[in-house]
Structure 1
Amino acid sequence: MPVEFESVVTVSAAKQIADTLRAAIMDGRLKVDERLPTEEELAQRFKVSRPTVREALKRLAAQHLIRSRRGPTGGNFVASPAPEDAALSLANATTLMVAVGDIQLDDMATARLELEGVCCRLAAATRTDAQLDAMRTELARQRDVSLTDEEFCASDVRFHRALVDAAGNSLLSFLMHAVVEALQPVSNMIIFRVRERQAIVGFHERILHALESRDAEAGVAALADLVDYTRDRTRAALDRRAERVG
């Protein structure tokens, strides 16, 4: 049975159409891989022009809710959820919120400790040898004194990504994407001049050894010490910046 849509007013019509279609997708009235009506059909149903419909479809495509396919059997189809795209969108939004001050760095540190602490407990029980090897590889890189600051920060992110993956929980992995992929690089950018690499390496060694021995509490304790160190170094970096500005 065709999905029924109500007509919309012309002001911000493209947004209203996109919102209406998005709601139909989210509540299951439009199924994954289902073909949407043509632009002409949608224009008639919503009583708007085809360019307005086209703009609405562009909005949905930008949100990764629909995909286009060319050819005789082509058209616009409801997209299958892509966790990577959704996680990237979440990370980008989080980075922006930190940049404009909507998320405070102290809140960021608290959220990281609580969420990654859960991951650490799960990882102590579920980690695989391959995941431990990934963490060991990054730890070996971090001990290389010739590593640039950018390379060290990238390795830092990969280490914690491996820890999160070792938890074996897809929802936590999705949520932690915002912390590991967005907030951690922001934090690294602030503190890289005032932190000691060997201190970071030391915390990472403790976390890895805890996971190797399946000692969840030791891993969480090491993580807490790392977050406290990062929080302290962040404050020091911001104080130094304020002194220069003042």
Structure 2
Amino acid sequence: MKIDPASPADLSAQIASAIRDAIVSGQLIVDERLPSEAELADQFDVSRPTVREALKRLAAQSLIRTQRGATGGAFVNRLSFEDAYPQQVTTSTLLLSMNAVSFETACEARYALERACAPLSAERRSADHLATMRAEIHRQSQPGLTDEAFCASDVAFHRALVDGAGNPVLSYQLAGAVEAMQPLMNMITFTARSREAIVALHTVIADAVEAENARAATDGLTALEEETQTLARNVFEARAKRSG
């Protein structure tokens, strides 16, 4: 593992990158103990605080864990898909906001991904996934539910649909699509949407998944996308008229 002292990049970031590359390449394996802070400082010819900062970066990415005591130290962590969800969501959220991705583009991408997942969910979903979807539909039907709570329930419904596919790689990839894009869509459309229409479409999707009807589940998602896109156009047109 090497760094370039002449590089303008932060030294702790370089060290973290070097260790991360060693983990990804298999040079450092799961549960292997990393060299001590002093040893790493000597190896990279930097101060111990610089090494400490690099280790903090790796821990924040769940790539390493630390243990105290005589047998303690920093160890290569076994990263799970669930542990990686928050980072995927954060990255997707930042990409959408920093690159000014249009609502139409984000909506198109999100539903295209979810439609690809629907047939697997119709085939593999468990009773727990169905129960979650039904519970969220019931929750969304409550008259006193706040917009914030409705949005959270909306995310939970689609999260259960995606997880019902029984594919952790798909669940990870769709974490950004559902948990980053859905709140954005809700935020833009909540003033114009009909909760009754959304609940009805969610019910169609849940019924299709329960009946193992992949086509109907896909069609339900297409109808939901069309409803969402129409709401967004109405909102943007109303805003344009007010500003004009």
TM-score (norm 1): 0.92
1:159 Cα deviation from its structure 2 partner: 0.9
Distance 1:245 1:92, change over 3 A: farther
SS in structure 1 of the partner of residue 74 of structure 2 = strand
Which deviates more, 135-144 or 98-107?
98-107
1:161 Cα deviation from its structure 2 partner: 1.0
- Please give the alpha-carbon distance, in whole angstroms, between the structure 1 residues aligned to 2:117 and 2:3: 47
- Please give the alpha-carbon distance, in whole angstroms, between the structure 2 residues aligned to 1:170 and 1:193: 34
Q: What's the CA shift string for 1:45-101, capped at 9, x where partnerless?
A: 111121221121122112211111111111111111032231111101111222233
Q: 2:133·2:157 contact (CA, 8 Å) conserved in 1? A: yes
Structure 2 match to 1:70:
68
SS in structure 2 of the partner of residue 67 of structure 1 = strand
Structure 2 match to 1:99:
97
Name which of 13, 16, 19 aligns with 1:15. Answer: 13
Name which of 39, 48, 59 aligns with 1:41. Answer: 39
Query: 2:166 corresponds to which letter in structure 1?
Result: G
1:188 Cα deviation from its structure 2 partner: 0.4
Q: 1:8·1:46 contact (CA, 8 Å) conserved in 2? A: no
Q: 2:81·2:169 contact (CA, 8 Å) conserved in 1? A: no
Which deviates more, 144-153 or 168-177?
144-153
Q: What's the CA shift string for 1:161-212, capped at 9, x where partnerless?
A: 1111111111111111111111101110111001111110111111111112
Query: 2:110 corresponds to which letter in structure 1?
Result: R
Query: 1:65 corresponds to which letter in structure 2?
Result: L
Structure 1 match to 2:141:
143
Structure 2 match to 1:26:
24
- Please give the alpha-carbon distance, in whole angstroms, between the structure 2 residues aligned to 1:224 and 1:139: 18
Which deviates more, 134-143 or 10-19?
10-19
Q: 2:28·2:76 contact (CA, 8 Å) conserved in 1? A: yes
Which deviates more, 186-195 or 89-98?
89-98
Distance 1:98 1:240, change over 3 A: farther
Structure 2 match to 1:89:
87
Structure 2 match to 1:226:
224
Distance 1:85 1:244, change over 3 A: farther
Backbone CA RMSD of aligned residues: 1.6
Structure 2 match to 1:158:
156
SS in structure 1 of the partner of residue 65 of structure 2 = strand
Which deviates more, 52-61 or 172-181?
52-61
Structure 2 match to 1:172:
170
Count of paired positions? 242
Name which of 2, 7, 20 aligns with 1:6. Answer: 2
Q: Percent identity?
A: 47
Give ranges in structure 2 of 5+ residues lacking alignment.
none
- Please give the alpha-carbon distance, in whole angstroms, between the structure 1 residues aligned to 2:214 and 2:151: 25
- Please give the alpha-carbon distance, in whole angstroms, between the structure 2 residues aligned to 1:39 and 1:241: 56
Q: 2:162·2:174 contact (CA, 8 Å) conserved in 1? A: yes
Q: 1:69·1:76 contact (CA, 8 Å) conserved in 2? A: yes
1:230 Cα deviation from its structure 2 partner: 0.6
Structure 2 match to 1:80:
78
- Please give the alpha-carbon distance, in whole angstroms, between the structure 1 residues aligned to 2:2 and 2:182: 44
1:214 Cα deviation from its structure 2 partner: 1.4
Give ranges in structure 1 of 5+ residues lacking alignment.
none
Structure 2 match to 1:198:
196
- Please give the alpha-carbon distance, in whole angstroms, between the structure 2 residues aligned to 1:6 and 1:160: 44
